[in-house]
């Protein structure tokens, strides 16, 4: 009977997740001991992990979820609820409801201005369209940007996750910096002339708009799922080791790490896939927040990647370059060991093709106590500034390091196998 009761409670909680957004104004950030985390997962498959630190796992939880945790005798600590807006944010210097941060429309305007002001160096391209009919933009920066010269390509992409607003600004400002300094800096000119630098500031426009206007903590896209819930975590929807297990992503549509119904089922990931396969990409950074980490493959397994030493060396160099700017410490490491296991994320997939050095950079702050997903507008410039040398370095690295032909690196290629078959394959 007790077991049945517990199961019923679990099902009720899972079924109730669709209402989580409506109760957003009362959500809190809680932590549980890592040793209790397995029990916590009983309450909510694919709990919304924020980070792990000092043996505790931090989670966004609604009152209903906290009640379910209590019923399961999981001890949790309410860390904070002070970062939740109680109403629309005040208008700020940058204009718009989200202040100095870009909305999708503001970004489109600014990208068009960059293209207009830097003819020949910048080409704005639409790489996809979302479920709500928004365009996904890529800004290509190169000499003769409008023609395909087959030069080494590097990708800087932001905002897979809607609430991680700072991740829009860093790649956007990098593009702006390159264009505005082309005539001033020999270093910038050399890089731009020798490569194609692709900037995709907003991979998830629908989610970002929802985060701005409805629910600040929204993470996923806005896919209407079959069970009435919304959203696929597009950083669990890429095609390498997709659905490898239910720890690194979730099969439950209401989960914040729902992987979708199949690899590349979402227009956002399909757009990135087409872009990446269409050029000679040799490196990429996917920006996220928060934690101050530089993470590299694999994410889906704690086994090391074939080029683990090189991945680690590049990450270490980038961490050193970042620290040299104003002393901010970013910790580098393999994603599955440094953060938590993920599957179907962007960097595992881009790396799987030909071993392109692929990084998830978790931007500041370092933890919840320093603001979580909320960086003050006045910090945007400094966060970009400390990442700039690392971005320049990775671009130079890509130019200097051709990859073997795709699929020559001895790793398993992108495929859409069933999770079970894939799991069997990958265990051998």
- All residues at 6 or more sequence positions from 111 whose CB lies less than 8 Å from its CB, including other chains: 124, 137, 139, 172, 175, 201
The minimum distance between CB 155 and Zn ion, in angstroms, equals 16
The minimum distance between CB 7 and Zn ion, in angstroms, equals 32
Number of other residues whose CB lies within 10 A of the CB of residue 275: 21
8 Å CB contact between 121 and 182: yes
Check residue 163 for interaction with Zn ion (CB under 5 A): no
Smaller CB separation from Zn ion, 56 or 161: 161
Gap between the Cα atoms of 243 and 249, Å rounded: 7
Smaller CB separation from Zn ion, 128 or 158: 158
Write down the residue that tokens 């030493």 correspond to: 309
288, 319, 349, 364: which one contacts Zn ion (CB under 5 A)?
288
Smaller CB separation from Zn ion, 65 or 256: 256
Interacting stretch for Zn ion, rule CB under 5 A, among 55-63, 91-99, 201-209, 288-296?
A: 288-296
Q: Interface residues for Zn ion in 181-200 (CB under 5 A)?
A: none
Gap between the Cα atoms of 110 and 90, Å rounded: 22
8 Å CB contact between 29 and 84: no
The candidate with the shortest Cα–Cα distance to 388, out of 316, 310, 326, is 326
| Token pair belonging to 39 | 């029990």
Site size toward Zn ion (CB under 5 A) is 3
44, 56, 161, 163: which one contacts Zn ion (CB under 5 A)?
161
Gap between the Cα atoms of 90 and 399, Å rounded: 44
The pair phi, psi for residue 43, each rounded to 5°, is: -70, -40
The minimum distance between CB 179 and Zn ion, in angstroms, equals 27
Interacting stretch for Zn ion, rule CB under 5 A, among 63-71, 266-274, 284-292, 388-396?
A: 284-292
The minimum distance between CB 49 and Zn ion, in angstroms, equals 10
Q: Is 93 exposed, middle or buried (0-12, 13-18, 19+ CB in 10 A)?
A: exposed
Smaller CB separation from Zn ion, 223 or 282: 223
Q: Interface residues for Zn ion in 306-325 (CB under 5 A)?
A: none
Gap between the Cα atoms of 260 and 234, Å rounded: 8
The minimum distance between CB 399 and Zn ion, in angstroms, equals 28
Gap between the Cα atoms of 227 and 193, Å rounded: 50
Gap between the Cα atoms of 261 and 225, Å rounded: 9
Write down the residue that tokens 């500041």 correspond to: 364
Binding mask 242-281 for Zn ion (x = CB under 5 A): ----------------------------------------
The minimum distance between CB 8 and Zn ion, in angstroms, equals 33
The minimum distance between CB 35 and Zn ion, in angstroms, equals 25
Binding mask 201-240 for Zn ion (x = CB under 5 A): ----------------------------------------
Q: How far is C-alpha 93 from the chain's CA centre?
A: 27
The minimum distance between CB 289 and Zn ion, in angstroms, equals 7
8 Å CB contact between 349 and 234: no
Smaller CB separation from Zn ion, 68 or 315: 315
8 Å CB contact between 247 and 253: no
> What is the C-alpha radius of gyration for the chain, rounded to an integer number of angstroms?
21
Binding mask 323-362 for Zn ion (x = CB under 5 A): ----------------------------------------
Smaller CB separation from Zn ion, 115 or 293: 293
Number of other residues whose CB lies within 10 A of the CB of residue 15: 13
The minimum distance between CB 256 and Zn ion, in angstroms, equals 10
Interacting stretch for Zn ion, rule CB under 5 A, among 29-37, 56-64, 286-294, 306-314?
A: 286-294
Smaller CB separation from Zn ion, 161 or 223: 161
Smaller CB separation from Zn ion, 182 or 287: 287
The minimum distance between CB 164 and Zn ion, in angstroms, equals 5
In the complex, which residues of this chain contact Zn ion (CB under 5 A)?
161, 164, 288
């Amino acid at each position: 009977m007790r077991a049945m009761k517990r199961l019923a409670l679990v099902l009720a909680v899972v079924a109730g997740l669709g209402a989580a957004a409506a109760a957003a104004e009362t959500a809190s950030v809680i932590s549980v001991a890592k040793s209790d985390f397995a029990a916590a997962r009983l309450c909510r498959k694919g709990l919304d992990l924020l980070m792990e630190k000092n043996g505790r796992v931090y989670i966004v939880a609604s009152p209903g979820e906290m009640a379910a945790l209590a019923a399961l005798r999981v001890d949790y600590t309410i860390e904070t609820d002070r970062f939740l807006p109680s109403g629309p944010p005040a208008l700020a210097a940058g204009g718009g409801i989200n202040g100095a941060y870009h909305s999708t429309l503001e970004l489109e305007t600014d990208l068009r201005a960059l293209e207009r002001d830097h003819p020949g160096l910048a080409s704005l391209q639409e790489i996809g369209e979302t479920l709500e009919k928004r365009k996904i933009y890529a800004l290509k920066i190169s000499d003769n940007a409008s023609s395909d010269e087959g030069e080494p390509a590097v990708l800087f992409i932001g905002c897979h996750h809607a609430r991680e607003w700072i991740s829009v600004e860093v790649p956007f400002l990098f593009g702006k910096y390159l264009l505005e300094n082309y005539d001033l800096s020999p270093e910038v000119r050399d890089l731009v002339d020798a490569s194609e630098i692709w900037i995709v500031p907003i991979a998830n426009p629908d989610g970002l708009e929802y985060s701005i206007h409805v629910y600040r903590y929204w993470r996923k896209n806005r896919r209407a799922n079959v069970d009435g819930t919304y959203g696929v975590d597009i950083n669990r929807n890429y095609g390498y080791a997709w659905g490898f297990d239910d720890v690194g992503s979730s099969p439950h549509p209401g989960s914040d790490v729902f992987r979708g119904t199949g690899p590349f089922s979402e227009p956002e990931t399909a757009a990135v896939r087409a872009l990446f396969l269409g050029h000679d990409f040799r490196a990429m950074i996917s920006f996220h927040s928060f934690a101050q980490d530089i993470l590299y493959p694999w994410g889906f397994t704690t086994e090391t990647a074939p080029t683990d030493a090189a991945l680690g060396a590049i990450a270490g160099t980038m961490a050193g370059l970042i620290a040299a700017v104003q002393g901010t410490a970013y910790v580098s490491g393999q994603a599955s060991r440094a953060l938590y296991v993920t599957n179907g994320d962007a960097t595992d997939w881009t790396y799987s093709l030909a071993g392109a050095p692929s990084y998830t950079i978790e931007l500041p702050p370092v933890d919840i106590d320093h603001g979580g997903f909320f960086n003050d507008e006045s910090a945007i410039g400094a966060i970009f500034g400390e990442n700039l040398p690392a971005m320049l370095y990775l671009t130079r690295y890509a130019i200097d390091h051709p990859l073997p032909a795709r699929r020559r690196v001895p790793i398993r290629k992108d495929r859409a196998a069933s999770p079970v078959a894939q799991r069997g394959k990958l265990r051998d």
